[in-house]
Amino acid sequence: MKKGKSEKIDWLRAQYRRKDLGPIVRGKYAKRIAAASNVVVLDPVLAKIFPNDVAVNAALKGLVELARATTRSAARSAKRRSRADRVG
């Protein structure tokens, strides 16, 4: 046996009109989500090396520490060279 159409559904459809709902916007919240999230897509080769976000974060933190240490020692070396030039 087939079920007949529900009277409730037919009754509600007459009440709503497409023009009353406003324009259809695809990806309405896409800009807001993109601004609120920080998603990075890894190259497939890198994705095999780094199995999860913890590994990626650890590698990046190590790289930042290395860069800071290298920058500090380079700045110190330049100061020492300039002092040596003044004395000699």
Is 86 a domain residue? yes
Query: Lowest mean pLDDT: which of 41-45, 53-57, 65-69, 80-84?
Result: 80-84
Is 34 a domain residue? no
Is 11 a domain residue? no
**CA atoms 35, 41, 46, 50: torsion sign:** positive
| DSSP 8-state assignment for residue 6 | P
Write down the pTM of the prediction. 0.43
Radius of gyration of the chain (CA): 31
Is 80 a domain residue? yes
Task: Give the type of residue at 69.
Answer: A
Is 75 a domain residue? yes
Residue 57 domain boundaries: 43-88
* CB-based contact 59:50 (threshold 8 Å): yes
Q: Mind listing the pLDDT tens digit for each residue in 17-63? A: 777 777 877 788 888 887 888 878 889 999 999 999 899 999 999 99
Q: What is the residue whose two structure tokens read 């002092």? A: 83
Q: How many domains does the chain have?
A: 1
Is 87 a domain residue? yes
